[in-house]
Homo-oligomer: A and B are copies of this chain.
């Protein structure tokens, strides 16, 4: 669904109000039957012979996905990847505001990165509870990911996106998503080997 949002937002910027399913499929690089299937939930915005009303379709997808609102995020691990995430402008534009950044390295604590003062991870619970935090991002080295997750769970955070290349254990009421770069490379290797 991410690609639909990206393309539809681009169309809005160009002030295009209607798009045919064929054109939308082409721009999203999916086939037209797939797009009609994916967007069947939003059928009312598809008008036979016309296409989709861009703005209404975008709103419906965002509502469906739960991104018609802001999500407060925190980040643990201000290394290179953490800095890249803190500076990633599209996350905030899409409603994912990284509100605070934590690290346990005394040389980083107090540093300002993309407008955030890096806070000692031990203060995560205290700081995170001052604000309703929805999602925690882990960008620590793998050996510190579990500790970061523990701090997040103690602060009552129910969604963790783990960028560290390791599995973490969480309680049953916490949702984890893994971002593993090597999976993308594996998938590319597979596609290149099976042309």
Contact = CB atoms under 8 A, between A and B. Distances in A.
Interface of A: 1-3, 5-7, 29, 64-67, 71, 73, 79-81, 83-85, 87-88, 90-91, 94-96, 134-135, 158-159, 161, 165, 167, 175, 177-194
15 contacts: A3-B178, A5-B186, A6-B180, A7-B167, A71-B189, A80-B80, A88-B181, A88-B182, A96-B182, A135-B188, A135-B189, A135-B192, A159-B189, A177-B191, A179-B184
Which 7 pairs show the lowest CB-CB distances between chains A and B?
A66-B193, A2-B183, A80-B84, A81-B84, A80-B83, A66-B189, A80-B80
Contact of A192 (B1, B95, B159): B159
In this complex, the member of A88, A167, A189, A193 whose beta carbon has the largest number of chain B beta carbons within 10 angstroms is A189
Chain copies in complex: 2
Contacts of A96: 182, 185, 189
Given A87-B80, A175-B191, A94 B186 contact: yes
B65 A190 contact: yes
A181 B179 CA distance: 8
